[in-house]
Amino acid sequence: MIIIPCKQNKGLRDQMRDLPKHLQTEAHKLGDHGLGERELYQSCLFRGAIEPASEMTAIRQVEKDI
């Protein structure tokens, strides 16, 4: 059985649940994309940047578990 520390720590789980909300509401302030808040979320830039990062994190986690 693989023990994943972040799943055992409620405080960390809560932060992990809340961080994506904060990233989504503050993303328009990050970087120099030149888009306003509405423009960023209506474009595919935000989702296009987040999904590959998410996939890479998942891949690295799987590699660690192997």
Q: Domain ranges in the chain?
A: 5-65
pLDDT in tens, 10-39: 888 888 888 888 888 888 898 898 998 889
Residue 61: predicted pLDDT: 62
Q: Residue 3: its pLDDT value, please?
A: 59
Distance, CA of 51 to CA of 45 (rounded, Å): 10
pTM of the predicted structure, to 2 decimals: 0.51
